[in-house]
Amino acid sequence: MVRIVLADDQTVVRAGFRALCDLTDDLQVVGEAADGPSAVACARRTRPDVVLMDIRMPGHDGLEAARQILADPDLGGTRVLVLTTFGLDEYVFEALTAGASGFLLKDVDPDDLYSAIRLVAAGGSLLDPAVTRAVVDEFSRLRGKLTDVERLDVLTDRERDVVALVARGLTNDEIGARLQMSPLTAKTHVSRALTKLNLRDRVQLVVLAYETGLVSVGDVLPPK
């Protein structure tokens, strides 16, 4: 059973997500919160697998709540999945860099919601390459391009190639096919890159790839 906390300041939104989860056999809502402080308190009380976190809430917002939850050593098994009304929202970017495992638009289809929660609960990351690129591009426009390129110096050339393909939304299977390696080898390169760069998951790897200019919005895949 995947245990879920719903954090959103709109009662009707929480009710809608709860109703959808109630239709499944493996998703259980164990708590609700209408603001950031309540979300943190609820997470600490219930220790959920996943927090569905709205960013724009009263009190300290969902971004600060996500930071506190993800920094709490007693909540090491709790993942944060960001909810937003806006595809282009700089706060979504900040939530991803803080360690959120991905994001969903609030008009998500039920089946996609279920898949996202299960994926994140299992330790995966929810990557929508098109929206992720748009968020990073908007953040860069608002705050200026981040150019911490030297962070990538710890990577081998092959690891850089793999990271660039992760940022473009390719799976391990697709990376393996493109670079003529097994999916397991591709996965190993991803894991090594995460360790060397001190990153939590593939979402943060995507963000860093755009921040450093390893890939850019509008890039196309090179021919095989």
CATH at residue 156? 1.10.10.10
pLDDT range class, residue 126, cuts 50, 70, 90: confident
| C-alpha pair distances (Å), 209 with each of 77, 85, 153, 166, 169 | 26, 25, 13, 9, 12
Across the chain, mean pLDDT equals 84
Closest alpha carbon to 189 in 160, 209, 211: 160
Q: Are residues 196 and 95 in the same domain?
A: no
Q: Crossing angle of helices 157-167/183-197, nearest 10°?
A: 100
pLDDT over 60 (residue 147) = no
- Distant-in-sequence, close-in-space partners of 133: CB < 8 Å, separation ≥ 6: 210, 217
Residue pLDDT, tens place only, 49-105: 999 999 888 777 888 899 999 989 999 899 999 887 765 556 767 777 778 888 888
Q: Which token pair is 123?
A: 């330790």
> Could you tell me the residue range of the domain that residue 82 belongs to?
2-126
d(CA 29, CA 6) in angstroms, rounded, equals 7
Residue pLDDT, tens place only, 154-192: 999 999 999 999 888 788 899 999 999 999 999 999 999
Residue pLDDT, tens place only, 196-214: 998 878 877 887 887 788 8
pLDDT range class, residue 140, cuts 50, 70, 90: low
Domain termination site, one of 126, 149, 167: 126
d(CA 71, CA 89) in angstroms, rounded, equals 23
pLDDT over 90 (residue 16) = yes
User: Helix, strand, or coil here: 67?
Assistant: helix
Residue pLDDT, tens place only, 110-124: 998 999 899 889 887
Q: Residue 46 is part of a domain; what is its CATH number?
A: 3.40.50.2300
Q: Are residues 78 and 163 in the same domain?
A: no
- By the 10 Å C-beta count (0-12 exposed, 13-18 middle, 19+ buried), 88 is classed as middle
Phi-psi region at 137: left, alpha or beta (left = phi > 0; alpha = psi -120 to 50): alpha
DSSP assignment letter at 102: B
**CB-based contact 63:100 (threshold 8 Å):** no
* One-letter amino acid for residue 49 of the chain: D
Domain termination site, one of 94, 126, 158: 126
Residue pLDDT, tens place only, 95-110: 777 788 888 888 888 9
Number of domains forming the structure of the chain? 2
Q: Which pLDDT value is given to residue 86?
A: 62
pLDDT range class, residue 141, cuts 50, 70, 90: low
